[in-house]
Chains A and B, each alone.
Chain A
Amino acid sequence: MSNRAQGGPGNGATAGKICQFKLVLLGESAVGKSSLVLRFVKGQFHEYQESTIGAAFLTQTVCLDDTTVKFEIWDTAGQERYHSLAPMYYRGAQAAIVVYDLTNPDTFSRAKTWVKELQRQASPNIVIALAGNKADLASKRAVETAEAQAYADENQLLFMETSAKTATNVNDIFLAIAKKLPKNDAANQQGQRLNVAQSAESNQSGGCCK
């Protein structure tokens, strides 16, 4: 089924300075994952962004010095029940943004769980960024910047507080990821799209189709 799983076209090598990376967004529901992507990809923001069921896919290209970086972004469903779908999306991803809502401490705990899971199960070189979203609601803040920053440092994560609504730090966090991603080590960039057939079999049971 996934006859293109390994080394698809346009991936990796610096030739032509075009790199393609798979990035996945994870986090509790309603923290603003889809909104971050929408802001990054289309420059738009919808107050009533509808919930994501399963996952959504978008692409965006950024230029970094002399390299063009193309992100293939998987925006996943946040509800815990859809958890079992997640490995299908983060397996083979070179980057992940774990999002929490800085007005809600529970979503921060959930973000930590995601980070742990990624460290354990995603590819070892994955670049993980932590995004504290909804920075525009500063008056309702419930997770302190210092606390999140300390956690990020401890786990070697990129960290920014973002706001999809005001666009604060949205492009920046994607750019920071792009910078950190290796551009010349072809081995790291399998450009693996989705390894559905395999992941479906090798996954533990439970939840929506994997």
Chain B
Amino acid sequence: MYPTPLASPGLSFAVHSFLASPHARNTCGHNGLPLTPNSVRILGRFQALKKLTHPCLATYLDLQRGKHERVVIVCESYERNCQKLLSSDKSPTAEINSFAHFDGSPPDYPEVVRRIFYESLHALAYLHRQNFVHHSVSLESIQLTDALHVKLSNHGTYFITENGACVPFPIGLPKYLPPEVLLDPKGLHSPKTDLWSLGIVLLELALRKELFNFELEEQIALVFECASSEKPVMCILERHKLVYEYLCLSEQVRDAIEACLSVPLEHRPSSEELLSHPYCDMQIEMLEEPPKGLPSHELIGADQIEECIENSSQLPEAWEVLNLHELYYFWRLTGGDALAEISKQRDYIRSRPAIFGLPNLTLIEGEDCGAERDSSYYYRDTYLRLPMDSLRERLKSVDPDIMFISISILFERFNFERHRSESFTTKTASELPLVIRERDIEYQIRRIFRFRKLVELYPLTGRAIQLEAAIDIPPYFRGHVWAALLGAQGDYHAEFDEIDKDTPTPMDRQIDVDIPRCHQYDQLLCSPVAHMKFRRLLKAWVSSHPQYVYWQGLDSLCAPFLSLHFNNEALAYQCLSRFVDKYLHKFFLQDNSQVIKEYLAVFSRLVTYHDPVLSLHLQKEDFIPDLYAIPWFLTMYTHVFALHKVYHLWDALLLRGEAFPLCVGVAILTQLREQLLTFGFNECILTFTDMPELDIERLVKDAVDIFDSTPQSICFRSHSKRPISGMTPLSLETLREELTPRISTDDFFIALSAPSSKDASGRTTLRERVLVLDVRPKEEYLEGCLRGAVNIPKDVAFTPEGKLASCPEASALAAHKGNIIVVFGNEEDRRKVANQLVHLDYRHVCILDTTVHDIRIRMSPPICLY
């Protein structure tokens, strides 16, 4: 059994750090924009390393940027490595025996070497299959776990630095590099580079001696000597006077070494070929096991569920289930900060006073001459181990019950009510502000345990995810949860692969100029890798939606999904596509004017419904939504808020229907209400040119309240994806003339029936009291009316000044102010009365969307007369 990460005392997180090459000042790229800092380029490429999962590869966890292009990489690290194995004073047997967790009886030294070689080669083959070249294989890079298994490290440096182009130092130690690489140090090298390096490592391990212990020039000279030799290995051995020792090795190992140390590339085997070498004929149980847990970037498909349930039926050890990425996440929540740790180590970052770095001459183009090269630009492969104690302590003190809670979901997955009540244990915590909850380790551990199970079992757990997400969504799983809420499933990889993302289209220029302007404050999204992914996603969307076109703003919509699914474009695409389909139906039509105008008109009416005073003020100032709200709705607020705010807003949005964005708009206006009421047109529009700082948590809460207190049909749009049936589609003129929204008969009767009721989606909402205002002439009213209706005929309703005429019915109406008032009558009359009520500051006025004829069947003679 593969040991649990924290049970292994040798494991910790470690950082290593280097400086990326700085750009000369004021240089810019072909598009006139400043060159992307190399550390940002590196950050973008780094993300792909997180996807690598091989039991013999050390996991890359995080990359942070420090000052002056410093790059700090956090990865899994072990205390021991092959170099320490060789330099140890102990006998080989004693050394091997000191690996406490060795499974089975410790074999002899040559067998250990064979295993190390095999595991390293296995890991290299995995890398090569995915087009990574390690380029830094060395004794030191082969770390050893407590069970004496290999953890190959440093395998990402060559890749993230764009084959060394982004850094001022060469990648890899010269003594391990093959001649062809030393001849052409910068450039893209073959994966077979690693085979040469592994050959040297094997030679050193087999002879139990570190080679090339001399000056750098001599090392390089020796490698070149090899290049011209018939048998390179002999060259090296003769130089070290180790020919006899070498000949004492087994024939198999010698053959493997010699295969690796072939100078011509065509004679050197690939990693795959070498795996079938007789020396590699062995079985390592660990390598056959499937990787544990859910890969951090993937949302599982239905076919893997069976297996998952099977695996989950046995109770795992408490911390075994956490993968390293989760552990690292918790490490950060306990206050871990890799950048701070590294700056504490003064001798790790030896900084020289800047004055010594001044150049003698600076050219007008910005190039410096004569500055002495700072030695901190050289590569140092020292790893600094990060303190793990507080994490261990913290995890120990966590109530083990939360494990069982999460397992219990399995058995209760069809009993959501019970499951829901259970989550009241976390109720107190969930009343804390969201930003605090997101940083509280105890709370996040609970949430992550709960969600990881739910996410693993998706789509079976779709409903349970919705219920849990309504409490909050742990940031660690936000990407997965969003995808689940949007209903992503099926083989989205195949779907995405089939889409043409490359053929040039007339839209490309627009996409290319928009991407470098989209959420570029975000370190990750401004990297070239992100730009490339952006481009592919946008082009994929455009080419697979021929009925739609690219409108500026689609780029902003793409940003949150790209940022959350950076390593899974297919899933990001799937989410984008489903999101647009659900919330922005028809918005990206070539001619979307009708759709958007209707949306904005419905928005205006919703504002009037909730806040007639503000609405009338804005209308009086000609401050119409067309001038400020298009970017709100077209981009679902991604163009007006920074990503961290969008996350919280969309957490709420994705749980709700199409009408929610309208409610967010109302909430924004109400949050700024006091100012807006005193503002004229110019101040109003200036307010929204740069969206003011808004309290996003309050905004979300207000929007949810507004959404819950608004009957669905109030936000009816004829262009929505599934228009509410039975509602009359209204022309734009009518939408503008009629200030108040309309309510469907269904919603009306629901609202009428009980103060608290469930609507179609099962949502329980507290409804206000409803008053029906019948504006037909008295005679018609007496013939039959809706239950409880108050009759104020339109002709006598208002005084010439526009005030309510005084009558008992009017007093009843006035007493009802603030609650829902449903105006019922003939087309013209009801509009006039409803509009006038708005001018009298009545909130929640709506018009019953039906004709007298259609609803006659539900009418009865009035019961009481005022």
Write the residues of chain A forming the contact surface with B, with a CB cutoff of 8 angstroms: 1-4, 29-30, 47-51, 53-59, 72, 77-79, 81-82, 84, 88, 103, 106, 134, 137, 140, 193-194, 196, 200, 205-210
**Which interface residue of B552, B685, B686 has the most chain A CB atoms within 10 A?**
B552
Q: Chain B residues near A49 (CB, 8 Å)?
A: 517
The 10 closest A-B pairs by CB, nearest first: A30-B513, A54-B630, A48-B520, A53-B631, A57-B685, A209-B597, A79-B552, A209-B596, A56-B689, A137-B32
Contacts of B686-732 to chain A: CB distance below 8 A? 686, 689
Write the residues of chain B forming the contact surface with A, with a CB cutoff of 8 angstroms: 28, 30, 32-34, 509-510, 513-514, 516-521, 526, 549, 551-553, 555, 590-593, 596-597, 600, 619-620, 622, 624, 626-628, 630-631, 634-635, 639, 681-682, 685-686, 689
Q: Chain A residues near B634 (CB, 8 Å)?
A: 53-54
5 A-B Cβ contacts within 8 A?
Answer: A1-B624, A57-B686, A140-B32, A207-B591, A208-B593
Instruction: Report Cα–Cα, A196/B553, bound state, in Å.
Output: 23
Instruction: Report Cα–Cα, A197/B590, bound state, in Å.
Output: 23
Instruction: Report Cα–Cα, A88/B624, bound state, in Å.
Output: 12
A50 touches B517 (CB 8 A): yes
B626 touches A209 (CB 8 A): yes
Q: Chain A residues near B682 (CB, 8 Å)?
A: 57, 59, 72
Q: Chain A residues near B30 (CB, 8 Å)?
A: 140
Instruction: Report Cα–Cα, A72/B686, bound state, in Å.
Output: 10
Q: Chain A residues near B635 (CB, 8 Å)?
A: 53
Contact among B33, B510, B518, B620 for A29, CB-based, below 8 A: B510
A205 touches B631 (CB 8 A): no
Instruction: Report Cα–Cα, A90/B519, bound state, in Å.
Output: 29
A206-B552 contact in complex given A4-B622, A50-B517, C-beta closer than 8 Å: no
**Which interface residue of B32, B519, B635, B686 has the most chain A CB atoms within 10 A?**
B32
B622 touches A209 (CB 8 A): no
- Within the complex, the shortest CB–CB distance from A127 to chain B, in Å, comes to 21
A58 touches B686 (CB 8 A): yes
Instruction: Report Cα–Cα, A193/B555, bound state, in Å.
Output: 31
A1-B619 contact in complex given A47-B33, A54-B627, C-beta closer than 8 Å: yes
**Which interface residue of A2, A54, A59, A194 has the most chain B CB atoms within 10 A?**
A54
Q: Chain A residues near B620 (CB, 8 Å)?
A: 3
Contact among A59, A77, A88, A200 for B552, CB-based, below 8 A: A77
Q: Name 14 extra pairs, CB < 8 A, besides A54-B634, A81-B590.
A: A29-B552, A50-B519, A51-B552, A51-B553, A53-B631, A53-B639, A54-B631, A55-B627, A59-B686, A78-B552, A79-B552, A200-B626, A209-B593, A209-B596
- Within the complex, the shortest CB–CB distance from B707 to chain A, in Å, comes to 24
Nearest B residue to A31 by beta-carbon distance? B513
- Within the complex, the shortest CB–CB distance from B625 to chain A, in Å, comes to 9
A30-B592 contact in complex given A55-B627, A209-B630, C-beta closer than 8 Å: no
Chief secondary structure at chain A's binding surface? loop
A30 touches B627 (CB 8 A): no
Nearest A residue to B687 by beta-carbon distance? A57
Nearest B residue to A210 by beta-carbon distance? B593
A48 touches B526 (CB 8 A): yes
A48-B592 contact in complex given A53-B639, A194-B627, C-beta closer than 8 Å: no
Q: Chain B residues near A194 (CB, 8 Å)?
A: 622, 627
A50-B639 contact in complex given A72-B682, A193-B622, A209-B626, C-beta closer than 8 Å: yes
Instruction: Report Cα–Cα, A102/B644, bound state, in Å.
Output: 36
B514 touches A2 (CB 8 A): no
A51-B518 contact in complex given A59-B686, A208-B630, C-beta closer than 8 Å: yes
- Within the complex, the shortest CB–CB distance from A193 to chain B, in Å, comes to 6
Instruction: Report Cα–Cα, A78/B520, bound state, in Å.
Output: 19
B593 touches A207 (CB 8 A): yes
- Within the complex, the shortest CB–CB distance from B365 to chain A, in Å, comes to 11
Q: Chain A residues near B555 (CB, 8 Å)?
A: 51
Q: Chain A residues near B517 (CB, 8 Å)?
A: 30, 48-51
Instruction: Report Cα–Cα, A100/B628, bound state, in Å.
Output: 25
Contact among B510, B519, B591 for A205, CB-based, below 8 A: B591
**Which interface residue of B513, B526, B620, B639 has the most chain A CB atoms within 10 A?**
B513
Q: Chain A residues near B516 (CB, 8 Å)?
A: 48
A206 touches B593 (CB 8 A): yes
Instruction: Report Cα–Cα, A173/B161, bound state, in Å.
Output: 45
Instruction: Report Cα–Cα, A1/B624, bound state, in Å.
Output: 10
Instruction: Report Cα–Cα, A208/B620, bound state, in Å.
Output: 24
Nearest B residue to A75 by beta-carbon distance? B689
- Within the complex, the shortest CB–CB distance from B852 to chain A, in Å, comes to 31
- Within the complex, the shortest CB–CB distance from A107 to chain B, in Å, comes to 10
Q: Chain B residues near A50 (CB, 8 Å)?
A: 517-520, 639
A208-B592 contact in complex given A48-B526, A57-B686, C-beta closer than 8 Å: yes
Instruction: Report Cα–Cα, A30/B555, bound state, in Å.
Output: 14
Nearest B residue to A50 by beta-carbon distance? B517
Q: Chain B residues near A72 (CB, 8 Å)?
A: 682
Instruction: Report Cα–Cα, A207/B685, bound state, in Å.
Output: 22
Nearest B residue to A58 by beta-carbon distance? B689
Instruction: Report Cα–Cα, A106/B510, bound state, in Å.
Output: 12
A208 touches B689 (CB 8 A): no
Q: Chain B residues near A56 (CB, 8 Å)?
A: 689
Q: Chain A residues near B553 (CB, 8 Å)?
A: 51, 53
**Which interface residue of B517, B518, B521 has the most chain A CB atoms within 10 A?**
B517
Instruction: Report Cα–Cα, A206/B509, bound state, in Å.
Output: 22
Instruction: Report Cα–Cα, A77/B553, bound state, in Å.
Output: 11
Q: Chain A residues near B627 (CB, 8 Å)?
A: 54-55, 57, 194, 196
Q: Chain B residues near A88 (CB, 8 Å)?
A: 626
A82-B552 contact in complex given A47-B34, A50-B518, C-beta closer than 8 Å: yes
Instruction: Report Cα–Cα, A55/B629, bound state, in Å.
Output: 10
Instruction: Report Cα–Cα, A206/B551, bound state, in Å.
Output: 13
Q: Chain A residues near B628 (CB, 8 Å)?
A: 54
B592 touches A207 (CB 8 A): yes
B32 touches A103 (CB 8 A): yes
Instruction: Report Cα–Cα, A2/B681, bound state, in Å.
Output: 11
Nearest A residue to B601 by beta-carbon distance? A209
Nearest A residue to B33 by beta-carbon distance? A47
Instruction: Report Cα–Cα, A30/B518, bound state, in Å.
Output: 12
A196-B592 contact in complex given A51-B518, A208-B630, C-beta closer than 8 Å: no
A84-B593 contact in complex given A54-B631, A79-B551, A196-B624, C-beta closer than 8 Å: yes
Nearest A residue to B551 by beta-carbon distance? A81
Instruction: Report Cα–Cα, A142/B18, bound state, in Å.
Output: 40
Q: Chain B residues near A29 (CB, 8 Å)?
A: 510, 513-514, 552
Instruction: Report Cα–Cα, A49/B521, bound state, in Å.
Output: 10
Instruction: Report Cα–Cα, A96/B32, bound state, in Å.
Output: 25
- Within the complex, the shortest CB–CB distance from B577 to chain A, in Å, comes to 20
- Within the complex, the shortest CB–CB distance from A195 to chain B, in Å, comes to 9
- Within the complex, the shortest CB–CB distance from B548 to chain A, in Å, comes to 11
B32 touches A53 (CB 8 A): no
- Within the complex, the shortest CB–CB distance from B329 to chain A, in Å, comes to 29
B622 touches A196 (CB 8 A): yes
Instruction: Report Cα–Cα, A72/B680, bound state, in Å.
Output: 14
Contact among A134, A205, A206 for B32, CB-based, below 8 A: A134
- Within the complex, the shortest CB–CB distance from B501 to chain A, in Å, comes to 21
Instruction: Report Cα–Cα, A33/B521, bound state, in Å.
Output: 20
B514 touches A51 (CB 8 A): yes
Instruction: Report Cα–Cα, A1/B685, bound state, in Å.
Output: 17
Q: Chain B residues near A81 (CB, 8 Å)?
A: 549, 551-552, 590
Instruction: Report Cα–Cα, A115/B30, bound state, in Å.
Output: 28
Q: Chain A residues near B596 (CB, 8 Å)?
A: 208-209
Instruction: Report Cα–Cα, A134/B28, bound state, in Å.
Output: 13
Nearest B residue to A194 by beta-carbon distance? B622
- Within the complex, the shortest CB–CB distance from B506 to chain A, in Å, comes to 10
Instruction: Report Cα–Cα, A34/B697, bound state, in Å.
Output: 30
B33 touches A48 (CB 8 A): yes
- Within the complex, the shortest CB–CB distance from A77 to chain B, in Å, comes to 6
- Within the complex, the shortest CB–CB distance from B510 to chain A, in Å, comes to 6
Q: Chain B residues near A78 (CB, 8 Å)?
A: 552
- Within the complex, the shortest CB–CB distance from B661 to chain A, in Å, comes to 15
- Within the complex, the shortest CB–CB distance from B514 to chain A, in Å, comes to 5
